[in-house]
Amino acid sequence: MTSQPERRSQVARRAVLGTALGGAAAAALPGTAHAEVPLRAGRRPWKLRNTMTTDGAWSKFLRGQDLLWTKLPTRWYQGPFLGDGLLGSMVYQEPGANGIRFTVQHGRVQDHRPEFGSGWGTCRLPVGHLTLDPVGTITAVDWRLSLWNAELTGTVTTTAGTLTLAALIHDEVLAVRATADGGERVAWTFHPEEAISPRKISEAPPTGYTGNPPWTTHTTADGTEQVLQPLTGGGQTATAHRRTGDDLLLGVGHSFPSDTAAEADSLRNLRRATSYGTLKRRHTRWWHAFYRKSFVSLPDQRLQSFHWIQLYKVASASRADGPVMATCGPWLEPTPWPAVWWNLNIQLEYWLIHGFNHPELDALATTVRQNQEQLIANVPAAYRADSSGVGRSSDMFATRNVPVIGTGGEAGNLTWALHNVWLSYRHSMDRNLLRDTIYPVLRRAITYYLHFLAPGSDGKLHLPSTLSPEYPVVPPQDTNYDLALIRWGCQTLIDSAELLDIDDELIPRWREVLARLTPYPVDANGFMIGADTPYAQSHRHYSHLLMVYPLYLVNWDQPGSRELITKSVEHWHAITGAHRGYSYTGAASIYAMTGDGDTAIGYLRKFFDTSTRYPCQANTHYTEAGPVIETPLSASQSLHDMFCQSWGGVIRVFPAVPGAWADLTLHDFRTQGAFLVSAVREAGTTRFIRIRSLAGEPLKLRHGLTGRLTVLLDDGTPARTHDLGDGTLAIDLPKGREVLVHSGSRPDLVIAPVAVSEPGPAWGLP
C-alpha cells in the first residue's frame, strides 16, 4: 500500500492532469522524455481484435495444453485429477490390483477434536475410493484430461475387451459414464476408508486419542447406497452413490455439529445431478465461462501447458464460498500434511489467482473474514481483548493457538496471510474487504506484536525470540521474518486508516514503531535469520527474505538495496541440501523483480529438473512425503512475475521475459489498482499495451517501449499523461475506460496464441 505522501502526490497529480494539461495533453511523446509533445491532429479510434472469443478457438487452444496418458498411472502424482473446489478425485491403478482407482475426498471432511492438534484432532479425514474392476487384465490406457471441459475421457484396454469412460466432478458429485465392449463388463465398488488422520504414516497418535467409530451402510428405496461415518468429536460424513444405466453418480456430505445432516446433503446432491449428461451441461457452462476471463500464451510448450494446468488445478481445488485449501488440496492421500499450513503454504497457494483474473477462487480471504472470532481465541487469554493470530497449522476454520512471543514460536503467520488478503483488495479495490476484514484483523495481529516490542540500550524497539519458520536453530531475537511483517503491517494500517477515514488511536504508536523498529539484521552475506543468527544452514523457506519478496519493502527500485538483495538470494541458494521446489520458485520471482528474466527462468526450470530430489511430477503435482499443492501453484506466480508486475503502485509490462521468448501474449491480466492489462510482444519487442481501469485508481505504467509514444483512450482521444522518468508514464484513466499505448505506427491490435518455439511433450504419461 502506498504511503500517505505518495498517495497525496497521486491525488495532486491527477488534479493537475485533469486541469492544467486539459485538451493539450500529448497523444505522442518520447518514451523517455520529460516534456510533453503537442498533440497530432485527428482522432484515430481503435479496438482490440481478440481471436479468443469463440468456443472453437478456446477448445483448439486448450486441447494443446491437455494432459495425456498412454501408460497406466500407478501413483496419485501420475494420474488425472478432478475437482470442483470441494469434492476431489485422482485416478490411477488400484495399488496391487488389476483395477482403476477413483479416489473420493472432500475439502470439508475433517475431524473435530481440537484438543489433539491439527495433525490429528482437526485434520482432514479420508472418505474412500471407487474401483472400476475389469474382467480381463489391463494392457493399455488411452486417456485425455480435457482442460476446456474439465473432463477425463478415454479407454481401458484389457485382455477381455475395452472399457470406455468419461468422468467429471460438479456440484459435489463425481459422475462417471462407463461402457464395455467385447468380453468386458462395468463393475464398480466403493471402498470406505478409516476415518483416521493420514498422518498415521509418519507418527503414532497422540496420547489419549481414540479412533472414530466404524462406518455403517444402508440402501435407500431408490437403490442409492450410503456409507455413514459418525465422528467422536461430533458430526458426520455421508457418501451416497448409485448406478443408472451407464452412469455412476457419487456425492459426499459432511456436517458438524449435526450428526444427521450430511446424510440428507449427499442424497440431495445426487437428486440435483440426475444423470451424467445433465450434470455435464452445467459443468461445461461453468468452465467455459471461467476460462474466458483471461488469456496468456508463451512460446515454451511445456511451460505453457503447465501454466494452464495450474489454473485448472486451483479452480478444481478452491472456490471463494468453499473451504480454504489444505496443503494437499482436496486430493487427500497418506501424508504428514492433512491440514492448512500458515507459515508459507497457504500464501503460495493463492498468489496466482490475481493475475489470472479469478477472484472467485479466493477462499483465503473468505476464511479470514468468517473466522475472526477463532483468530481471537487462538491467542493467549491475556491478549484476546485486542489481539489475534494463528499457529503454524490448522483446520479450515483457522483453529490453532499462537505461542507467547518470546518463547520461540511462530508469531507472524496471520500477518503474512493478511498480506494475501491485502493483495485481493489491491487487485479488486473492494473497499468492503479493506474495511470489514483486513483493517480489523490486521490491527489485532499487529497489536499482538506491540505487546512484546521493547526498547533496547540502543533506543531501538526489539522483538523477543520468535521462530523464523522452520529454520533449524534456537529461535533468535529480531527475526527478519517478523520485522518485515511488522513494518508492512504498521504502514498498511496507517494507509488504510486514511483511506477509510478512521481516526485510530493507535496511529501514533504505529508511526513510532516504523521510526524506532530495529533495522533488519544483516551481515556480509546479506539478510540474516535474526539478531546474532546468520543464515548458515540450508533452508527451504525464504522467510528471512520476506522484505524483498513478496512484500517489496526492500526492492530493485531502490538502487542502494540492489547489492544487498543480490548477495542475500545468492547466499540463500549457495548453501545447498534443504532446498525444495518453492525455494526455486521463490528465487525465480526475486530475480524477476530485478528484471533478470534469464536467471529467473533458470531457477524456475530447476523445479522441473527430474534429476533434483523433489521435482514437479508427471501430472504437475508435487510431493514432499505426501501431496503438497503450493509449489506448482507458486511456479505459475513466478511466470506471472516475469510477464507483469504491479508492486509499489507501478504496472510493469514484460519486466523479466526470458531472452528466448521472443513472443508473448497477455489479455485481461489483472493487476493491483484493479486494472486489466493486455499486451503483445513480437520478435522481442513490445508491440502494444492496452489497460482497462475497473476502479479509477491512479495509473503509473512502466511500459518498456522506446521512441515516440502514442497514448489514446478507447474513443481515440489522447489520454492525459505525464512522463515520470525511468520509462514510467502516469496516465489519467477514468473508471471503466481503456487506454492504448504503443510506439511508432499503430500495430495490429490482435490477441491470439503465439507460435511455439520450444516444443515439449504433454504432461501426464503420453
pLDDT in tens, 605-623: 999 999 988 999 999 999 9
Rounded to whole angstroms, the Cα distance separating 645 from 194 reads 46
> In this predicted model, what pLDDT tens digit does every residue of 710-763 receive, in sequence order?
999 999 999 999 999 999 999 999 999 999 999 999 999 999 999 999 999 999
> In this predicted model, what pLDDT tens digit does every residue of 161-190 receive, in sequence order?
999 999 999 999 999 999 999 999 999 999
Q: What is the pLDDT of residue 19?
A: 27
Contact indicator for 140, 70 with CB cutoff of 8 Å: yes
Which range among 271-275, 314-318, 366-370 shows the weakest confidence by mean pLDDT?
271-275
Rounded to whole angstroms, the Cα distance separating 513 from 517 reads 5
| Cis ω for the linkage preceding 403 (within 30 of 0) | no
Q: What is the pLDDT of residue 125?
A: 98
Helix (H) / strand (E) containing 102: strand 100-106
Q: What is the pLDDT of residue 43?
A: 75
Q: What is the pLDDT of residue 17?
A: 29
Contact indicator for 413, 389 with CB cutoff of 8 Å: yes
Contact indicator for 724, 685 with CB cutoff of 8 Å: no
- pLDDT-based confidence at residue 472 (cuts at 50, 70, 90): confident
Q: Which of 175, 143, 135, 141 lies closest to 159 in space, CA to CA?
A: 135
> In this predicted model, what pLDDT tens digit does every residue of 1-20 receive, in sequence order?
444 444 434 433 333 323 22
Which range among 36-50, 273-287, 403-417 shows the weakest confidence by mean pLDDT?
36-50
Rounded to whole angstroms, the Cα distance separating 665 from 295 reads 8
Q: What percent of the chain has pLDDT over 70?
A: 95
> In this predicted model, what pLDDT tens digit does every residue of 134-155 receive, in sequence order?
999 999 999 999 999 999 999 9
- Tell which phi-psi region holds residue 81, choosing left (phi > 0), alpha (psi between -120 and 50) or beta: beta
- pLDDT-based confidence at residue 42 (cuts at 50, 70, 90): low
- Domain segments of the chain as ranges: 4-53+662-751, 67-291
> In this predicted model, what pLDDT tens digit does every residue of 215-233 receive, in sequence order?
999 999 999 999 999 999 9
pLDDT above 90 for 676: yes
For residue 304 the three cell numbers come to 505453457
- pLDDT-based confidence at residue 35 (cuts at 50, 70, 90): very low
Q: What is the pLDDT of residue 315?
A: 98
> In this predicted model, what pLDDT tens digit does every residue of 699-712 receive, in sequence order?
999 999 999 999 99
What architecture is the 67-291 domain classified under in CATH? Distorted Sandwich (2.70)
For residue 687 the three cell numbers come to 508491440
Contact indicator for 399, 342 with CB cutoff of 8 Å: no
Q: What is the pLDDT of residue 759?
A: 97
pLDDT above 80 for 28: no
Please list the residues that pair with 434 across neighbouring strands.
Answer: none
Q: What is the pLDDT of residue 718?
A: 97
Average pLDDT over residues 235-256: 97
pTM of the model: 0.94
For residue 393, the SS3 value is: strand
Mean residue pLDDT of the chain comes to: 94
Average pLDDT over residues 509-523: 98
Q: What percent of the chain has pLDDT over 90?
A: 93
Q: How many CB atoms lie within 10 A of CB 654?
A: 23
Please list the residues that pair with 671 across neighbouring strands.
Answer: 675
> In this predicted model, what pLDDT tens digit does every residue of 285-296 receive, in sequence order?
999 999 999 999
Per-residue H/E/C for 504-515? CCCHHHHHHHHH
- In CATH terms, the fold of domain 4-53+662-751 is Immunoglobulin-like (2.60.40)
- Tell which phi-psi region holds residue 759, choosing left (phi > 0), alpha (psi between -120 and 50) or beta: beta
Q: How many CA atoms lie within 13 A of 379 on its CB side?
A: 25
Rounded to whole angstroms, the Cα distance separating 646 from 507 reads 27
The residue type of 213 is P
Distance of alpha carbon 51 from the chain centroid: 27
Q: Which of 197, 238, 226 lies closest to 112 in space, CA to CA?
A: 197
Q: What is the pLDDT of residue 44?
A: 79
